[in-house]
């Protein structure tokens, strides 16, 4: 592969399993960890425009397939994790962990507490419109900066990103570099107490110590609080999975968690094929049981190694 010179780290044929929460997946053709914005811009400008790029954060919402990714994966790290404050505005680099942003904001009396228990970084939070406990990125989002596939810096508004429940749109190959959020005011001690309560609740209800990627499927009736009329969460994915008798259901080393039936876990030796097959089998059985088509929330990327996984439903 003909790759431009960089100041950061560029590794060809780099396995990705250790960079994802589920610990599965094959290699990327190359993994680039840019030193800073300038390094990223120069790389993208000089990289053959026919080569695909895939930006990633800390891999907490990804299944990388066993055959790996035919692209340059760009992993944002040091150089993209500054956090700064201007009144009620909080600007964070995309590699800043959500939890760190929430804690630093709280110490300033600013409420971004909803980010505290989400294990990703800010780039993934914007791309996924991450949210919990009733708040979403879209509710606080002011703007973001990205580097285009040709290496130019652009500023994006909410209109450009089309936030929806667990998602937003970004042109192929664009890499987010920072985002600005508007936070409400709060008392630092109370905000800290709220975050501790959220952590406790998570630990009591979700398999936070297992290898997972959070919710496997979107809640069938759930949309984000972005002003859309259909902002309801009556029907939970875990409930329809339970109703189909699939709590604890497993294929190979992949299992629907006995603790939370919408969390798919790697019990130790799962392959990406096991995990994706399990998800598709759950979709098939839920459809048979309730007529509902579950849609994946976890992003599955890359190529199969050998036999492809057969879709359990015709859509989603």
Ligand X SMILES: Cc1cc2nc3c(=O)[nH]c(=O)nc-3n(C[C@H](O)[C@H](O)[C@H](O)COP(=O)(O)OP(=O)(O)OC[C@H]3O[C@@H](n4cnc5c(N)ncnc54)[C@H](O)[C@@H]3O)c2cc1C
Residues marked as catalytic = 166, 215, 297
Nearer to ligand X, 209 or 307 (CB): 209
Residues 6+ apart with CB under 8 A from 236: 219, 222, 262
Residue 173 interacts with ligand X (CB under 6 A): yes or no: no
Binding flag, residue 64, ligand X (CB under 6 A): no
Task: Kindly tell me which residue out of 10, 128, 246, 265 binds ligand X, with binding defined by CB under 6 A.
Answer: 128
Per-position x/- string for 19-38, each x denoting binding to ligand X as judged by CB under 6 A, each - no binding: --x-----------------
Q: Which of 98, 106, 112 shows the shortest CA–CA distance to 142?
A: 112
Give me the 209-248 binding string for ligand X, x by CB under 6 A, dash otherwise: ---xxx----------------------------------
> Rule CB under 6 A: which of 295-314 touch ligand X?
299
d(CA 128, CA 146): 15
| Spatial separation of the C-alpha atoms in residues 284 and 249, rounded to whole Å | 13
Least Cβ distance, residue 95 to ligand X (angstroms): 8
Task: Check residue 181 for interaction with ligand X (CB under 6 A).
Answer: no
Nearest to 312 by CA among 289, 299, 304: 289
Interacting residues of 175 by C-beta distance below 8 A, sequence separation 6+: 40, 44, 53, 55, 74, 76, 123, 146, 147
Q: Is 277 in the site for ligand X (CB under 6 A)?
A: no
Q: Figure out which of the listed residues 34, 57, 68, 186 binds ligand X, where binding follows CB under 6 A.
A: 57
Nearer to ligand X, 216 or 287 (CB): 216
Residue 307: burial class (beta carbons within 10 Å; 0-12, 13-18, 19+): exposed
Range in contact with ligand X (rule: CB under 6 A) among 170-178, 179-187, 229-237, 248-256: 170-178
Which span (187-195, 208-216, 244-252, 278-286) binds ligand X, by CB under 6 A? 208-216
CB atoms within 10 A of CB 316: 13
Query: Looking at 27-81, which runs of residues are DSSP E strands?
Result: 27-33, 53-56, 62-64, 69-75
Binding footprint of ligand X on the chain (CB under 6 A)? 21, 54-62, 76, 94, 118-121, 123-125, 127-128, 130-132, 170, 175-176, 208, 212-214, 299
């Amino acid at each position: 592969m003909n790759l431009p010179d960089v100041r950061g780290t560029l590794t060809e044929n780099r396995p990705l399993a250790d960079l994802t929460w589920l610990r599965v997946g094959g290699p990327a053709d190359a993994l680039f960890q840019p030193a800073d914005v300038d390094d990223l811009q120069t790389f993208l400008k000089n990289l053959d425009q026919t080569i695909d790029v895939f930006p990633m954060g800390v891999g907490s919402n990804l299944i990388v397939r066993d055959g790996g990714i035919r692209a340059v994966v760009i992993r944002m790290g040091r150089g993209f994790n500054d956090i700064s404050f201007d009144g009620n505005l909080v600007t964070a680099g995309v590699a800043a962990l959500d939890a760190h942003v929430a804690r630093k904001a709280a110490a300033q009396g600013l409420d971004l507490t909803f980010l505290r228990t989400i294990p990703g970084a800010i780039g993934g939070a914007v791309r996924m419109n991450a949210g919990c406990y009733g708040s979403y990125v879209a509710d606080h989002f002011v703007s973001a900066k990205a580097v285009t596939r040709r290496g130019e810096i652009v500023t994006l508004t909410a209109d450009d990103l089309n936030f929806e429940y667990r998602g937003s749109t970004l042109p192929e190959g664009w890499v987010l570099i920072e985002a600005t959020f508007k936070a409400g005011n709060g008392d630092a001690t109370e905000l800290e107490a709220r975050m501790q309560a959220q952590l406790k609740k998570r630990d009591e209800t979700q398999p936070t110590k297992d290898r997972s990627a959070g919710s496997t499927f979107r809640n069938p009736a759930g949309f984000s609080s972005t002003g859309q009329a259909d902002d309801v969460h009556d029907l939970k994915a875990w409930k329809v999975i339970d109703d189909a008798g699939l709590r604890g259901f497993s294929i190979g080393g992949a299992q629907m968690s006995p603790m939370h039936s919408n969390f798919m876990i790697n019990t130790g030796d799962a392959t990406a094929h096991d995990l994706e097959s399990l998800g598709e089998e759950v979709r098939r059985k839920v459809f048979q049981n309730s007529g509902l088509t579950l849609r994946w929330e976890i992003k599955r990327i890359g190529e199969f190694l050998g036999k492809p996984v057969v879709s359990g439903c015709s859509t989603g």
